[in-house]
Structure 1
Amino acid sequence: MANKATVTVRAAGPKDEAAWRRLWADYLTFYELTLDPAITDATWAKAMSDGSAIFMRVAELDGEVVGFTMSLTHEGTWITSLDCYLEDLFVDETARGRGVGRALLDDLVTLCRQNGWSRLYWHTAEDNAAARRLYDSYVETDNHIRYRIEF
């Protein structure tokens, strides 16, 4: 069994930019995606802006940032408070199996409860077995299928 260590999850701040950019690049590689650098720059700016619904949390092991979540809140038609959508969750390959992903999800669950948000939801690739094992330990899939038109 992999060594379990204490994971600290906190709001991301300007000092986390270099670590996040390294993890973000690995995340994009994992999903075989290429984004214009301007999109990465804009994503960072939104996550750091108090005026954006997007917020970032980072996970630290031994003082090193090894994972992040990017989420946003939004209104909905079937709820009276806000929904929280977990758009991105990534853990550095060297830190996997050490409770980092679970700590990041637990942190979002706590934030949702503290803020009175109605729901936390996310999706993942169907073949992402490792992530799905973690996610399945929280809740069963709701059997919705995603459709997306890109412009």
Structure 2
Amino acid sequence: MGILIRNATAGDEARFRELWASYLDFYQVTVSDEISASTFSKALSPDSSIFMRVAEVDGRVEGFALCLTHEGTWILGKDLYLEDLFVDASQRGKGVGRALLQDLVDLSKANGWSRLYWHTAETNATARKLYDSFVQSDGHLRYRITIG
């Protein structure tokens, strides 16, 4: 099984929508179709700091990573924030998530970005096992106030 990691293209939208729906179901959240369409559009736009990498297995997109770069106050370069990572359930444990994460590490090095960071639910044991194989949690907690 060959895993190809590449930038998302317009032709990936239908499969992204399927995976995105499963991702939202996993986290038991709902977002509007407008937000989903906007997310995909931003990920393809050269004017957005958001981008998407997809994992292809045997010619089929089986996972995605939605990320954005931003400046930081404790660094000279940019941070890479991995906002969403998802792999189709049929492909978990087969190296797809690892390939996506390693790709982001490699992109960070190639682009001179200072840090790569992300968060996940404490209860997401499958993802945490993968993430812990890259780096241990830094012990920070996330707080979020939803406005509007």
TM-score (norm 2): 0.98
Deviation string, structure 1 residues 52-78 (Cα, Å, up to 9, x no partner)? 000000001110000000000000000
Q: Determine whether 1:119 maps to 2:115.
A: yes
- Cα deviations by residue, 1:97-125 (Å, 9 ceiling, x for unpaired): 11000000000000000000000000000
Stretches of structure 2 that go unaligned for 5 or more consecutive residues are none
Match of 2:14 in 1: 18
The answer for the alignment partner of 2:86 in structure 1 is 90
1:78 partnered with 2:70: no
User: Which residue does 1:30 correspond to in 2?
Assistant: 26
The residue type equivalent to 1:81 in the other structure is G
SS at match of 1:137: helix
Alpha-carbon distance in structure 2 between the residues aligned to 1:96 and 1:141: 21
Aligned to 1:104: 100
Q: Matched residue of 1:85: which SS?
A: strand
Cross-structure match for 1:61: 57
Q: What amino acid is aligned across from residue 13 of structure 1 in structure 2? A: T
Letter aligned with residue 10 of structure 2? P
In structure 1, C-alpha distance between the alignment counterparts of 2:62 and 2:32, rounded to whole Å = 23
Distance 2:56 2:16 in 1: 12
- Greater than 3 Å deviation, 4+ residue runs: none
Partner Cα separation in structure 2 for residue 63 and residue 94 of structure 1: 15
- Pairing 1:140–2:136 present: yes
In 1, Cα distance between the equivalents of 2:12 and 2:57? Answer: 14
State the identity %. Answer: 61
RMSD: 0.5
User: For 1:146 and 1:135, how far apart are their aligned partners in 2?
Assistant: 17
The TM-score normalised by the length of structure 1 is: 0.96
